[in-house]
Amino acid sequence: MLLGVDVGGTFTDAALVDGGQVYTAKLPSTPADQSVAVIEAIKEVLRRAGAEPSQVTAFAHGMTVGTNALLEERGARTALIATRGFSDLLEIGRQDRPELYRLCTPKPAPLIDTELHFEAAERVGPEGILEPLEQEEPERLAELVRASGAEAVALCLLFSYLDPSHEQRIAEHLRSELPGVHVSASHEVLPHFREYERCSTTAIDAYLSPLLSCYLERLGESAETVGLPRPVVMQSSGGVADAEAASRAGAWSVLSGPAGGAVGAGLLARACGDGNALGFDMGGTSCDVCVVESGEVSRTGSRRIAGRVIQLPMVDVHTVGAGGGSIAWRDPGGALQVGPQSAGADPGPACYGRGGAKPTVTDANLVLGNLAPDSTLAGGIRLDGDAAHATIEALAGLLDLGTLETAEGIVRIANQEMLRALRVVTVERGVDPRRFALMPFGGAGPMHAAAIATELGVRRILCPRASGVLSALGLCASEHRRDTIRTVMLSGADLSAERIATAVDDLIAGLGEGLADASAEVIYEMRYAGQAFELPVPGTTRPDPDDLTARFESAHLERYGHRDSEGEVVLVHIRLAMVAPGPEPRPTAATEGQLDESVREVYFDGEWTETRVLRGDPTTGVDAEGPAIFELPEATFVVPPGWNAEVDATGTIHAEVSP
């Protein structure tokens, strides 16, 4: 039995896979201590499966602990140790601005206060040591850190990716003298040139690791108490790692939750389609989108979270602040706005009946009939239709609009924000979305899927039976993965098969220990001499340099429309992952049971329309002509007029535009 649990801002999802049978549960999150909801969700899914904790063979966990701590700036009290004269590196950053035409838009404040910046008397250059690290210097730095009360240290010295000896000596001394203080050394976190990105990533790693360590330790103890195996943790790269390793490297799991959804989208795209899908994960707080091509989710080597750079391998997911709990409001100019503020899990939307008083996207969907006023959501939440109508009416009064007009406006604005995110990962990158199916998941995604597909020109939707908990299901299918990257700067005669093979072998030796049946995935990041950025070129562990160069030039021609046959090609980085394949569960549709059918009025295109409603687990072959609504155990799929839907053998609902 494979167990996956994903913590979101509003709900905590659990999936238990036993062969082809998938059992699911969804409960409200507990923001004060997310591990409480995790254990409760596990108990509920085990109860539904009639299983005991001892039968679970693997427990994978995706979380938002690191993400939330970074967004809310509530990580550990962290000190920075940098080369003398370079302690202001995080403040200086790069010369780019957050918004090109808004000169006064502030950059996010550094995570580390200036009073916690300490300078090491040493200097390493590209050719070697320029100023030696004296014997007493590590002790002096340890005393400064001890006196500061820091809980973590980010250690980032110049050129440590070439010669880490000074960093190693300082890190060893700090760990020996200050055992309760977490130390993140940049040569361990990111042995990569570009000092600002390396420093930013190391600072985030130090800032998050103590908090993550406490959370995972608490969760591990709770899991053992109920008889479960200790969890493995989803990393931003789309693979799981042992909890002990994850707790020592906080920056690697910032996108833990979205990565599980991307893996789940890839799993279902392979199982019930041609492997090409646009993942569309709409939860209560945010919406995450990704492109799945040939069953695989693309990865990127860098991104910004809350304006801060993390230069680590991660799944290529784009996030916007639009979810079921996003709050609708009137701006000072009198216009209707939605989000990014969210009602979250507590109190939640007004219709949850938990004291929420602000109108949300979920309230608007209830007013429009997409949700039934008397229904019960996952986690036992009974909807309060009167409360939803009251909040929408109050906002309508401020806008001088009708209640239905306001509810429609809220949904349309939320859709446009999510549509913008999908365009970022498709048309803005030269990807034609019409080649893909749209795969909605998350508790709210399937309600909005058809409207968004129509805007994108997508004619097919794949709605998994477990769409409401697909991130948890993806955790069950995750591979074990370890990633690293190294700057090598090879060009001319140095760009030889021997030099490349030696560098790759060194990376494999340092990464593959203890990971059985793992194979290496290698990306070579290359550029022409004089360029500022690199292009990724997939390759083998023993590539031919001429072949690498030719494939780089082809990639350059495709991306920029030209190549320079006379230009010198530089291999800048080698990015390597050791990957042990995970299980490949194949969900099956319900084999028995009866759908509860009813009819209700739903507001489509400005008029109330009698709509067929199917509640429960659909069996293979069930079909419906729009307008129809599938009320699945953890999600609601709206099939508008002009669409037809049918259930396949995996329980996935295939919806297509009527011919």
pLDDT of 496: 95
485 strand-pairing partners: 575
pLDDT of 419: 94
pTM: 0.86
Q: DSSP label at 248?
A: T
pLDDT of 345: 67
Domains of the chain: 71-214 (3.40.50), 479-580 (3.30.1490)
The residue count for the chain: 659
The predicted-structure confidence for 492-534, as pLDDT tens digits, reads as follows: 999 999 999 999 999 998 786 767 778 899 999 999 999 988 9
Q: Six-digit token pair at 565?
A: 């046959």
Interior CA angle at 513 toward 509 and 517, to 5°? 105
Cβ distance 30 to 7 under 8 Å? Answer: no
Lowest pLDDT segment from 341-345, 364-368, 438-442: 341-345
Question: Does the pLDDT of residue 124 top 90, yes or no?
Answer: yes
DSSP annotation string for 314-379: EE--EEES--TTEEEEE-TTS-EEEEEEE-TTTT--GGGSSS--S-BHHHHHHHTTSS-TT-EETT
The alpha carbon torsion through 95, 99, 104, 107 (nearest 10 deg) reads: -60
Question: Does the pLDDT of residue 593 top 70, yes or no?
Answer: no
Closest C-alpha to 83, from 114, 111, 117: 117
In which band, very low, low, confident or very high, does the pLDDT at 344 lie, cut at 50, 70 and 90? confident
Query: What is the average per-residue pLDDT within 19-34?
Result: 84
CA distance 26 to 381: 11
Q: What rounded mean pLDDT belongs to the chain?
A: 90
Query: What is the average per-residue pLDDT within 183-187?
Result: 96
In which band, very low, low, confident or very high, does the pLDDT at 303 lie, cut at 50, 70 and 90? confident
SS3 string, 109-125, reads CCCCCHHHEEEECCEEE
CA distance 404 to 642: 22
Residue 101: which residues within 8 A CB-CB, separation 6 or more? none
Closest C-alpha to 251, from 169, 178, 164, 311: 311
Query: What is the average per-residue pLDDT within 123-141?
Result: 95
Question: Does the pLDDT of residue 170 top 70, yes or no?
Answer: yes
CA distance 536 to 556: 10
Beta strands in 376-468 (DSSP E): 376-377, 381-382, 437-441, 460-463
**Most confident of the following: 115-119, 335-339, 513-517:** 115-119
Query: What is the average per-residue pLDDT within 349-360?
Result: 88
Q: Six-digit token pair at 407?
A: 């509810």
Q: Which amino acid is at 659?
A: P
Question: Does the pLDDT of residue 132 top 70, yes or no?
Answer: yes
The predicted-structure confidence for 374-409, as pLDDT tens digits, reads as follows: 777 766 778 888 999 999 999 999 999 999 999 999
Closest C-alpha to 292, from 96, 511, 441: 441
Query: What is the average per-residue pLDDT within 567-574?
Result: 95
Residue 586: which residues within 8 A CB-CB, separation 6 or more? 20, 271, 650
pLDDT of 56: 93
Cβ distance 15 to 45 under 8 Å? Answer: yes
The predicted-structure confidence for 60-90, as pLDDT tens digits, reads as follows: 999 888 887 887 788 999 999 999 999 999 9
pLDDT of 379: 64
